[in-house]
Structure formats: structure tokens, C-alpha cells
Amino acid sequence: DVAEELGVTKAQLVRVSRMLGFDGYSQLKDALKSAVLGQDNPADMLARVRDNRKDIQVTIHREEHANLDDTWTQIKPDDVSLFCSKIQEAEAVYCAGWGISSLVAESLFIRLRTMGLRAVLMTRSGMTLQEQARAVKGGDLVVVCELPSFVIEVTEAVEIAKRNGAGIATITDSPAAPICRFSDLSFFVSATSPMFGSSIIGPLFLVHILTSVLAVNMGDSARMALEEQAQFLHDERIFHPVFGLKYS
């Protein structure tokens, strides 16, 4: 399967493996698998930090700034415009994610609902993602965030939604993410982190940009929705009556 994907023969894979010092491709594959899994293993990440004896706060500060810069350079204006068009044309927008990626999905969901759009949060709850995806239909749009480790349930749910005729927009850190093969529109972010797996600073930054541009493009409809939402700020059953209140 790997040889077919790469467009080479199995014999060529074996030769490359031996050139790298492995007995064969199976040994190389095991080494690559261990290396990839080790990058996202929180225990291994902690061990590396302790071994390096570096100031973790300084490292995180530097890497998060790099995540923002790298994410910014990958944002294409045409893709942002296309995303906004797809959102406005969709009958319903499903915001999907698993684990830490679900926080990004929820951020998008809140912003869309705030603007009066029909949005549905699709995360692992009382039903599997595959079960929830059965309700997705043609005319809908699924926006899915998926950061390593990549989850089979997410991939299968996206496949079901695609098969049902829905549009798919993805937010990932790599074109190799399994969901990308179903995507009609892909956004790539930088999510490097020295601890706890992937960072969501880059993805949240992207969502902030996408929804802000969307609000501007929507014009009066977004303005009226935001004005209606702002009325909740004066409901003292929800918010304390203090100066400077804001909603999400």
C-alpha cells in the first residue's frame, strides 16, 4: 500500500530501507511509527523537556509565537473568501472535533451561533461521531478540526458526511491527515508544542480570522444578530451588572 501511494516498487522501498541501515522495510516502518507516536506521547514529551533542562516557559512562548506566524503565512485570502461563501450558502454547519480539537470546533460553533447561523456542535458525547454524521445531508457543511493523534472515528464520520453529499472543510496541521482526502477546502495550521501534544493557539487564531471576515462579509444580518445577542448582556440572571461586560 505504501509503495503504491508513493508510486514506487516494493523492491525500491526495501533498497532505501537498507541504505538507511535497516534490515528491511518492516524495520524502517516500525522505527518511523515509534518516532511519530513519540512526538505526540505526553510522557515522552515530558521526558524530553526534563532531559533538555531548558526553561519550559521560554520554550512555549517562543513556539506559540512561531505557531501564530506559521499559521498566518498559510492562510490564503481566496480560501478565506471561499470559506465564507460556503458558510453562508450552507443549510447547516456542523462543527466537528475530538479531544483538544473539539475546543476549536466549539469556538467556531459559538461564533457562528452568535452571528445567527444554524450551527451544530458535533463532538463525542452520548452518540459516536459516526452516528451523529448520519443526520448530515447534502447542502450542509462540515467544518472539522483534527490535530494529532488522528482519530478513526473522526475520519469515518467525515467519510459518512461526504457520502451523504455534504461539503467538507478541514483544519489540520498536515496534508497527511486522513480527513484531508475528503476535504473540499483545507486550512493548515502550525500546532507545535513541547508539552501535552498539539497546541490549539494556531487553530483558534485561524477561527478568529475566519469568523471575523465572515461577520464583515455578512453585513447587516451579522450586525442585527450581534445586536440581538448583546441584549443578553443586560440580563442580570446571566451576567453580573458591572461595567464592560462582553459576550463570547
- Domains of the chain, with CATH numbers? 1-39 (no CATH), 66-233 (3.40.50.10490)
pTM of the model: 0.79
Between 46-55, 69-78, 225-234, the lowest mean confidence (pLDDT) is in 46-55
Contacts of 233 (CB under 8 A, 6+ apart): 239, 245, 246, 247
Query: Which ranges of the chain would DSSP assign to H, the alpha helix?
Result: 2-6, 10-19, 25-40, 42-52, 56-74, 77-89, 101-114, 129-133, 152-163, 201-218, 220-230
Bigger pLDDT: 95 vs 235: 95
Residue owning grid cell 493548515? 188
Question: Phi/psi at 93 (nearest 5 deg)?
Answer: -115, 120
Residue positions counted in the chain:
248
**Residue reference for cell 517562543:** 62
> Which residue would you say has higher pLDDT here, 230 or 221?
221
Residue 16: pLDDT band (50, 70, 90) is: confident
